[in-house]
Amino acid sequence: MDRYPYAEPPRWWPPRPHPVWVRFWRPFRRFQQRHGHRIRHIDVDGLHHVDAAMKAGYGVLITPNHAGHGDCYLLLEALGRLPPPSYIMTAWQVFQLMPRWQQIAYCQHGCFSVNREGRDFRAFRTAVQTLAATSQPLVIFPEGEVYHLNDLVKPFRPGPLMIASAAVRQSGRPVACLPCALKYFYLNDPRPQLLAVVQQIERKLGIRAAEELSLDQRVERLQLEALAWREEQYLGQPVDGDPARRRDQLIEILLDQLEHRYEIDPRNLPVPERVKQLRQKLISAPADNAQQTSLDDVFAAVQLYSYEFGYVTRSPTVERIAETVDKLEEDILGLTTARIRGTRRGMIRFGEPLLLEEPADRQTGLAQTRHLQDRVQRLLDELQPHPPPASQASAQRLAESPAP
């Protein structure tokens, strides 16, 4: 998981989208896409669903999974094929960690900052106004975090549907909520480099290198060892039993202790919402060692929440192996963001919209949120790698042919 700073945002970054600036930045964006995120090709499918919603005069909300740090490039490439620029709600920490010129470029692409840990009324009003007064697409990532799960959607947060409902209430016109699936496939084989990282993590955890195991088995073993490492850190020793149950038990212990300490009622909320409540409380607490320790404990709970045991061995694709190694590299080796090892193809698919025609109460909004999450998961399940472009396929056949 990415270790972002958690504090009061130093400022708000507003959106300033304009087609001229989007065209101006295109060469820089594509350079960063290819060399920073190593995305060489982007396949777009289902864009007609977005176009139809815009032409119908609806508010247009796009709700993608958050597969990786290159997601904005997939969305900007796809939505850039439509006439008006789009809007993208972006965590303020992303802006804070950028150089100044990149902050400007993001704003001119329609990105605007949001404080996910607080009540960000400016971001909320901007999002509602976009849906209520325009048909320009608004992108919100309902998962809220990059969990490094290319094939799996974690539970969506209710915020995006609350924003859509507020826009319907304000304008009286429907909002089309479009599920969107983002996925990456490797164009070359990064496993030799991944093996070197696996060996580093094994040394860091102080465990024997299991060279008799396949790479997917070693990666799955490392997730189990990472869980045991956290149990030893917080409970004094590893626990026996089903790893998913152990994970959930440790998350509950971490969050329950902090909620009791800071007098917070969890109200049977899911883990992401409990984490949000705790971070809100901690950000306003005095900045001392106790506050930082508590923030670290919350972060450990989020890391554990991202672990899916059996995810790699059930389907040992190179993508699942790579993203799990990325997760462990950040969690165990302490990297801010894992290094990308191999060139990739990005795929983006838009599905048929869920049309929100009247404001929803809380229960209806939660049901609609689950429905959108299920639709995104189905789109992800359908996404399969396309054959490489003809030029790349020819080069690959030439490389594999025997020497004369």
pLDDT tens-place string over residues 318-330: 999 999 999 999 9
Domain count, the chain: 2
Q: Which of 285, 313, 332 is the last residue of a domain?
A: 332
Is the same domain home to 309 and 218? Answer: yes
The dihedral sign for the CA sequence 135, 347, 19, 146: positive
Q: Which of 282, 312, 332 is the last residue of a domain?
A: 332
Q: What local confidence, expressed as pLDDT, does residue 389 receive? A: 52
The reply to whether 13 falls in a domain is no
Cα-Cα-Cα-Cα torsion 240, 244, 249, 252, nearest 10 degrees, comes to 160
Is the same domain home to 176 and 281? Answer: no
* CA neighbours closer than 13 Å in the CB half-sphere of residue 219: 30
Q: What local confidence, expressed as pLDDT, does residue 267 receive? A: 79
Q: Which residues of the chain have pLDDT under 50?
A: 390-404
Q: What local confidence, expressed as pLDDT, does residue 270 receive? A: 92
- Read out DSSP for 326-338? HHHHHHHS--SSP
Q: For residue 41, what are the domain limits?
A: 19-187+343-391
pTM summary value: 0.90
Is the same domain home to 179 and 220? Answer: no
Neighbours of 284 (CB within 10 A): 11
Q: What is residue 88's DSSP assignment?
A: E
CB contact set of 242 (below 8 Å; sequence gap of 6+): none
Neighbours of 277 (CB within 10 A): 20
Q: What local confidence, expressed as pLDDT, does residue 309 receive? A: 95
Q: What local confidence, expressed as pLDDT, does residue 387 receive? A: 57
Distance CA 343, CA 341 (A): 7
Distance CA 137, CA 175 (A): 10
